[in-house]
Amino acid sequence: MEKYKYIDLFSGIGGMRIPLDRRGHECVFSSEVDKFAIQVYEHNHKDKVSGDITKIKSSDIPHFDILMAGFPCQPFSFAGAKMGFEDKARGTLFFEIARILKDKRPKMFLLENVKGFKSHDGGKTLATVEESLEELGYEVHHTILNSHHFGVPQKRERWYCVGFDKRVDFTFPEGDRRGTLLKDIIDTNEDNPKLKLSDFEVDRIKFHFESDDIRVKHDNSQYAPHTKKGKHGVFSFLKPDGALRFHIGDASKTQIQEAYYVSLSSVAPTIIATREPKLWDLKRRLSVNECRKLQGFPEEFQFNVSDAQAKKQLGNSVAVPVIDEIVHSMIEAYKADVTPKTASLCDFSDDFISTLNSSSVQVAI
């Protein structure tokens, strides 16, 4: 089997590289700025992480075949007078990906971002990214995938984009491992007191199940009358999937969610940097190990940081099983089809190439 070299940009704790390493491919460069993520990354992957990608020249990056990047979403500027991807992407971290693709010309790439990236700025951001990548001579495919379809009990929808330097017959995997529940990953013997819900949370969960109402109204006298909770009250509702939802009864705001609890028989919402799921039936938060399983990280993966930092890093990372299936589909498609891409960088006009080469590189962080 052909082995590829790849780079890992905005690498976090390295979730995107795990499937490639498992398949025997070689990471030749990684970049990250968060010191705690770097600490976890270097501990597990035994590679030295380079720092801020905005300060690294393309010439200092070794040759590679695949670019991997879970890049941050930043506003795109259309203020410049010149045409071409540099002008459209300047001031964003996507520009760093674009300039490296331009300079290094890898065979393929995989990008990941939040679901909302697709509709950001009325779709203008996505259009800019897609047009920029195509101008660089890449065939581009993108979609939204849900991690729950790939064997983890977490409804995590993310935008994924792949590109090839030639025409290939590529189709995104759909995921055929639905049906996992939190009970499949939860340790019911976990009794860490730090994970327990507050007395306030336990009391209101108990109050919900003591009522015969479908939609239970809670005491809002503890909230100031001028606040939304004080004005409209707090209600709880047990959803068919076993999740317990608390919301503010403001009809004009379609019942603003105030809190969300899951159970062993339900699926977790998206784990994010500032929130891990809470279990109403076990009356506790998920542990670091359980959050690791939610993202499909391997058993041997370790965190040499605080629990709070570990959960933050996992929330910022990727669902590994989704990346695994996409990478497999990418490589298989690339190997199967050797048709040259019609629009390659060398086909662009001299004026366009001149624009790329003459544009100044200014990145706003």
Catalytic residue numbers, as ranges: 73
Task: Tell which phi-psi region holds residue 312, choosing left (phi > 0), alpha (psi between -120 and 50) or beta.
Answer: alpha
Residue with the two structure tokens 């105030």? 258
Q: ∠69-71-72 over CA atoms, to 5°? A: 170
From CA 7, how far away is CA 11, in angstroms rounded?
9
User: Could you tell me if residue 242 is left (phi over 0), alpha (psi between -120 and 50 degrees) or otherwise beta?
Assistant: left
Instruction: Give the pairing type, strands 157-164 and 139-146.
Output: antiparallel
Separation CA 147–CA 159 (nearest Å): 11
Strand bridging mode 215-218 / 284-285: unpaired
Cα distances (Å, whole numbers) of residue 245 to 133, 234, 288: 41, 10, 23
- Tell how strand 26-30 and strand 234-238 pair up: unpaired
